[in-house]
Amino acid sequence: GFAAAWEAASLTRMAPDAESGRGLPLARHFLDQVRYDPGPPNRFLLRRQLARRRPQVLVVEDEEILLETYLGLLEPHYRVIAARDLRSALLLARETKVDLILTDFHLGSEPGTALVAALEEDRDRPPIPIVMITADSSVRTRALELGIDTFLTKPVTPEALLETIQLALTRALRQRLRLFRYFGTTLSQLVQPNLPQALGPFALALLHETADIGGGDLVVHLPRPGRERIVMVDVMGHGIDAKAGAIAHAAMVRALDLDPSLSPGRFLARWSDLIFGEPAFDAAIATALVVDLLADGTIEIASAGHPHPMILSATSARAVACEGPLLGFADRPRYEDMRLTLARGERLLLATDGLDPAELASGGNCPDWLVGEVQSRAALPLPAAAGRTAARISARLGPDPQDDWMLILLERSNIAAAEIAPAPATPIHADPQRDAAPATSDPVGPPENPASENPTTPPPAFQAPEPVPPPVPRDSPVAADADGLDLSGVAALRNAVSPAAFQGLAERFVENAARRFETWTALVAAGDGAALRREAHALAGLLGQFGLAGAADLARQVEHAPDAAAQLGPARALSVEGPRQLEKLKSWLEEDQ
């Protein structure tokens, strides 16, 4: 049934060139939960927790069976990506957001320390914690000097693997927060979001949260004769990089303010020209909204790719359809100014896309749940409505949101009794090259049942996973004998993964090991010492992981033998002992089924 297929779905067993059968493994990789309810009607419930991002682990291992084993153990707890050689690992580490690297010390002809050294020279990425797997104690000092976070010794038990990675992620997060807190505090003081509670005839409330130390959301207040200007900016990304971009944009905004004659649209055009003419600003991609609050109570707005403002009351919601290209994406762009007025009981909502990345980042309207929250508090004074909305947003996104978010609510503070009917938003500086039809507000109906959209408060978000409980032993006993087999690790692996996953791993190991022993016997007969040494290292890790401890020890003796003559004895012994232990393992597996 579906439950069994879902349990068995794994990216680790998906052929790179497969033309079918990829959907279920990909869905399991990216989703936190899938439930199938048989009909009628048949229904899938798909869930992904956006408020809590699972750390992503890059696993680097050139031995296919071991790579599949590590991935199978990590997939339930982390997002995992795999590399089988140094080149692929470097490419993934540089082009993908990786929170931790798990790597074998030996990667074919290259040592794992080569990966560490290459990443050490990469100044475009923050340091990545690295856990190295090795059975060679002689390399530890050298690897630690290069920056290895910690080691795992082969054979790797499930408990040790999960605990070590969890602790490494926790240490890295703590160090990163200490470092970023130092720099982030200084940077944040330069562009701390702040707005007065009143500007001319308008009352305002500002709400904001950052996803990391720093943050790329920015708001600047520019007093002008006869009007108050608010500039809202959302720099792509978050953290220190986004905060640096916000500081650069704040400097440009302040410089442009020297010309008080610029309307919101012309202000954006000048700003975009500055960015377009300076290649160094390419990394600070941002959307922006310029809002002028006039003394007569009207509002003028221009947008550079920013989410649509919303005019909300207790019974209605409509979008202000102001459009414009992103800052710096075109030479000499044009931005249209829109004019609107707020009627009694209406509030203007300005937001960045962190409140709903999927919808707002694509230029859509504010999500229904947020519209419903603001509408349900329309009768409250603005400060109280803003405070309760902020609490609801925090409950929805969690204490550690995926993206920075900012929200501004504003309303007319004194409206004459005659000013009750709302006026549509209209263009005031039309672009003759655009469609001549007047731009109007898009009606957006309130949610049918806002309360139904309110989920329970999500769990606290964090980078490192919760402690992994020890596996529950199954009924079958753990077998061990005096002939070189140590099946405790195999039993732990069986307990840590699904039955189907364990059976698949065991079958592939038996098939692979039998083939490798045939190759080994041929190498012994040929007396190829260099080839024996290379193969001995690979066999030692593989055999030890699946309980052939005596055979793994013989392989290590061959690997570390001082010369070809010293290799010969343990190499011949492994030709006999390896297949014998493999047969014992097969018998144990058959009895355990």
Q: How many helices (H) and strands (E) does the chain have?
A: 17, 22
Q: pLDDT in tens for each of the 593 residues of the chain?
A: 666 666 666 554 555 455 556 566 666 655 656 677 777 777 777 665 554 568 999 999 989 999 999 999 999 899 999 999 888 888 888 888 899 999 988 777 676 677 877 887 776 677 888 999 887 766 777 777 777 878 888 889 999 999 999 999 999 888 877 776 666 566 666 667 789 999 999 999 998 887 665 567 889 999 988 899 999 998 876 666 777 788 888 888 988 888 888 999 999 999 999 888 877 666 578 889 999 999 999 999 999 989 899 999 999 999 998 889 988 888 889 999 999 999 999 999 998 877 765 544 445 577 888 899 999 999 999 999 999 998 888 888 776 666 778 899 999 987 654 454 555 667 775 444 333 333 344 443 444 443 333 433 343 344 444 444 444 333 343 344 556 889 888 999 998 888 888 999 999 999 999 999 999 999 999 988 889 998 998 899 899 999 999 999 999 999 989 998 899 999 999 999 999 999 999 999 988 66
Among 298, 251, 296, which residue's Cα sits nearest to residue 275? 251
| Cα angle, residue 131 at apex, residues 128 and 134 outer, rounded to 5° | 145
Tell me how far apart the alpha carbons of residues 69 and 501 are, in angstroms, rounded to a whole number: 9
> In angstroms, what CA-CA distances link 476 with 102, 585, 590, 593?
31, 15, 12, 9
SS3 229: strand
Q: CB neighbours (10 Å) of residue 475?
A: 4
Sequential DSSP letters for 513-527: HHHHHHHHHHHHHHT
CA distance 259 to 90: 49
Strand order, beta sheet including 347-351: 198-199, 202-209, 405-412, 347-351, 310-312, 317-319, 442-443
For residue 412, give every residue at least 6 positions away whose Cβ sits within 8 Å of its Cβ, in sequence order, or none: 201, 202, 203, 297, 342, 344, 346, 419
Helix ranges restricted to H, 84-227: 86-95, 112-120, 140-146, 158-190
Give every strand in the sheet of 100-104, ordered side by side.
79-83, 56-60, 100-104, 130-134, 150-153
CA angle 139, 487, 64 (to 5 degrees): 55
Residue 101 DSSP symbol: E
CB atoms within 10 A of CB 423: 14
Q: Could you tell me which residues are beta bridge partners of residue 294?
A: 227
C-beta separation of 105 from 113 below 8 A: yes
pLDDT at 433: 39
Record the pTM.
0.54
Element housing 197 (H / E): none
DSSP single-letter state for residue 121: T
Q: How far apart are CA 174 and CA 188, in angstroms?
A: 20
Residue 551: predicted pLDDT: 94
Cβ neighbors of 174 (< 8 A, separation 6 or more) are none
pLDDT at 465: 44
Q: Which residues have a Cβ under 8 Å from the Cβ of 591 and sit 6 or more positions away?
A: 476
| Contact (Cβ atoms closer than 8 angstroms) between residue 193 and residue 218 | yes
Specify the pairing of strand 298-304 against strand 217-224.
unpaired
Amino acid 439: pLDDT: 39
Residue 508: its pLDDT value, please? Answer: 93
Contacts of 246 (CB under 8 A, 6+ apart): 191, 215, 216, 217, 218, 233, 235
Q: What is the pLDDT of residue 198?
A: 94
β-strand partners of 81: 58
